[in-house]
Amino acid sequence: MKEKNSLNTKGMISVCLAAHNGSRYIKRQVESILQQLGDNDELIISDDGSTDNTLNIVEAFADNRIKIVKFKQPDNNVKVSIKVALNFQNALIHAKGDFIFLSDQDDFWLPTKVEDCMRILMNCDLVVHNFRLCDEELRFTGVNQYRGNYHFNDYLALCNTYYGCTMAFSKHVLSYALPFPQKLELHDFWLGIISESLGRVLYIDKPLIDYRVQNTSVSHASNYSLIHKISYRMYILKHLILRVVKFKIKLLCQKF
């Protein structure tokens, strides 16, 4: 068995997990994450006002790698999807690592996730991996999500092809991804397309997590109208262009 310190020789890892009333599954997820982290890595859990036993479960680990940060909720009128994005942003703001992994509260990391992602991250800015669709008891349904057919460049696609729970990236991605656009509903889509625009994205076809499909999942996608999907993509595209231009002007100024 590898020693914890040997799991990460390239830099500090921060795992950013957004939590909200996740007591049913969060213990097993945290266990699967901590087993792959080194002594100097961290698991940042941004909690969105959980009213169940979530925080007690996390605190019971008594692991100094776990950092709990409270998410100050916006107005009640804000959409749930926007709150989720802001909750992840809160975790990202507190991340100190050189490499960042995103995590949902109800999945399960397969044993080589960190090792496989870190190997690819040496040659890119952001990596996305395949995952196994499972039922609520983590029984594999027989379906891998991407099935070898993954497209990065369709910015205006009417479905999100990025899943945050399958993403890891270098911290410098945050220098152009944060702060999120005010009305951002899909943090993973934003991180993916802005990394494509200003960096290099690679895909691992190997499934590295068990993705739990459940009706109560915080990350469960909502069914939006076609008009909403189109207007939302236009909104994101506008902010993507503005952010890319701003970042490139900044780089240009640094040369003089």
Note the pLDDT tens digit of each residue in 167-226.
Answer: 999 999 999 999 999 999 989 999 999 999 999 999 999 999 999 997 654 444 456 788
CA distances from 53 to 27, 61, 64 (A): 11, 13, 20
Average pLDDT for 128-139? 93
Task: Say what percent of the chain tops pLDDT 90.
Answer: 71
User: Does the CA dihedral 30-31-33-34 come out positive or negative?
Assistant: positive
pTM: 0.89
Decide which of 4 and 212 is more confident: 212
Q: Which two tokens stand for residue 37?
A: 């982290």
pLDDT of residue 214: 77
10 Å Cβ neighbour count for 225?
Answer: 8
Write out pLDDT tens, residues 63-101: 999 999 999 877 667 788 899 999 999 999 999 999 999
Chain centroid offset of residue 183 CA: 18
Amino acid identity of residue 9, one-letter, is T
